[in-house]
């Protein structure tokens, strides 16, 4: 199906046509935006061109086509690889960088873009490609507020927008905070699935129980948040000694099942460091102090 572009809609350039950039281009096309695309592997644009996107022959042409340029690349190195040789074409462009990287790299890139006369908005997309164009999806943004406000409406074609502030590193920071929770949680889940499997329990059988423990997490977060912000780690509800004994049981259950125990052992080692600092009677939230001041 080919889409009809509307004259009232802002035209956009999308550079980077991995699964994300492809989904973004499709969402813009479906919403009636004219879209110019460029990708290192040119063939990835073919299906999009068939749907109405315009193919730029060069990066310079892609930049010249539109003020608003969405970057969807593996990381910021890819951006430098693509835009580095085309800096003369950057002046006056708004780069909406929806590639993941660190806050420091986002700040560096914003300064680099400004030095070439472009404005830079950092983005952190919180959904997979299937969530692009869906209501309820969200992307963190940070950078110049006027640039964000000027393009907010167009960017909302992709996902909802959550402006975190003018520091270009903030969107990347919030994204990485989310990834911190996501990867740690999902790796814990995979570990439990492996132990379950060693006992002949399938992932399907484990699903309701895994879902139940994950669903209980927001209650814990809500309970501990005001205490954490107040710097209170009272051991009235839980204490680190009890937590360490519990994690120790997980380590031994894992070893007894013949499964790699390096993940719960790493958690146990962190708990022990808290105990060594004298926090046996405090809540496990006192581990924040251990994270803050790692042992040299």
Which of 3, 5, 11, 44 is in the footprint of ligand NDP by CB under 6 A? 44
> Contacts for 225-233 with beta carbons within 8 Å, 24 or more apart?
227/283, 227/285, 228/285, 228/288, 233/279, 233/282, 233/283, 233/285, 233/286, 233/288, 233/289
Q: Is 78 in the site for ligand NDP (CB under 6 A)?
A: yes
Which of these ranges, 2-10, 12-20, 54-62, 270-278, lies near ligand NDP under the rule CB under 6 A?
A: 12-20
Question: Binding to ligand NDP by residue 121, rule CB under 6 A?
Answer: no
Q: Is position 40 an interface residue for ligand NDP (rule: CB under 6 A)?
A: yes
- Of positions 5, 51, 67, 74, contacts ligand NDP by CB under 6 A: 74
Only segment of 68-76, 141-149, 227-235, 244-252 that touches ligand NDP (CB under 6 A): 68-76
Q: How far apart are CA 180 and CA 258, in angstroms?
A: 28
Residue 82 near ligand NDP by CB under 6 A = yes
Q: Let me know if 136 is exposed, middle or buried by CB neighbors in 10 A (0-12, 13-18, 19+).
A: exposed
123 near ligand NDP, judged by CB under 6 A: no
Position 128 contacts ligand NDP (CB under 6 A): yes
When binding is defined by CB under 6 A, the residue of 3, 30, 129, 162 that contacts ligand NDP is: 129
Please tell me the distance from the alpha carbon of residue 251 to that of residue 263, in angstroms, as a whole number: 9
Among 13, 36, 97, 99, binds ligand NDP (CB under 6 A): 99
Binding of ligand NDP by 116 (CB under 6 A): no
Distance of alpha carbon 292 from alpha carbon 165, whole angstroms: 25
Rounded Cα distance between 69 and 94, Å, is: 6
For the CB of residue 51, give the shortest distance to ligand NDP in the complex, in Å: 17
100 forms part of the interface with ligand NDP (CB under 6 A): yes
Angle between helices 103-115 and 76-83 (to 10 degrees): 20
Applying CB under 6 A, among 12, 17, 109, 157 the residue interacting with ligand NDP is: 17
Segment contacting ligand NDP by CB under 6 A, of 34-42, 209-217, 218-226, 252-260 = 34-42
36 binds ligand NDP (CB under 6 A): no
Supply the DSSP symbol for 118.
-
Task: Pick the binder of ligand NDP from 12, 14, 16, 37 (CB under 6 A).
Answer: 16
**Residue 81 in contact with ligand NDP, rule: CB under 6 A:** yes
Check if the beta carbon of residue 233 is closer than 8 Å to that of residue 279: yes
132 dihedral zone (left: phi>0; alpha: psi -120 to 50; beta): beta
Give the whole-angstrom CA distance, residue 216 versus residue 203: 19
199 binding ligand NDP? (CB under 6 A): no
Phi-psi group of 282: left, alpha or beta (phi > 0 → left; psi -120 to 50 → alpha; rest → beta): beta
Tokens of 112: 């680099």
In the complex, the residues that contact ligand NDP under the rule CB under 6 A are 16-21, 39-41, 44, 72-75, 78, 81-82, 98-100, 125, 128-129
């Amino acid at each position: 199906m080919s889409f009809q572009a509307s004259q009232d809609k802002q035209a956009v350039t999308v550079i980077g046509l991995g699964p994300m950039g492809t989904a973004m281009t499709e969402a813009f096309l479906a919403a009636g935006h004219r879209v110019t695309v460029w990708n290192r592997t040119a063939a990835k644009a073919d299906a999009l061109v068939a749907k109405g996107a315009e193919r730029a022959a060069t990066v310079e042409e892609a930049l010249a086509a539109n003020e608003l340029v969405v970057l969807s690349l593996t990381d910021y190195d890819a951006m430098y690889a693509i835009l580095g040789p085309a800096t003369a074409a950057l002046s006056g462009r708004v780069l909406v960088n929806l590639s993941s990287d660190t806050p420091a790299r986002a700040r560096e890139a914003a300064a680099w873009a400004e030095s070439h006369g472009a404005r830079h908005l950092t983005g952190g997309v919180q959904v997979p490609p299937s969530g692009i164009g869906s209501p309820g999806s969200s992307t963190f943004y940070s950078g110049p507020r006027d640039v964000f406000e000027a393009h907010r409406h167009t960017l909302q074609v992709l996902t909802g927008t959550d402006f975190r502030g003018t520091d270009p590193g903030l969107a990347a920071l919030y994204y990485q905070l989310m990834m911190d929770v996501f990867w740690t949680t999902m790796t814990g889940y995979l570990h439990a699935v492996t132990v379950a499997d060693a006992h002949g329990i399938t992932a399907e059988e484990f699903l309701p129980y895994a879902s139940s423990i994950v669903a209980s997490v927001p209650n814990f977060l809500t309970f501990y948040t005001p205490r954490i912000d107040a710097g209170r780690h009272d051991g009235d509800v839980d204490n680190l000694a009890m937590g360490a004994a519990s994690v120790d049981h997980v380590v031994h259950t894992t070893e007894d099942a013949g499964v790699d125990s390096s993940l719960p052992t790493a958690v146990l080692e962190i708990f022990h460091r808290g105990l060594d600092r004298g926090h046996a009677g405090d809540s496990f939230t006192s581990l924040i102090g251990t994270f803050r001041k790692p042992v040299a």
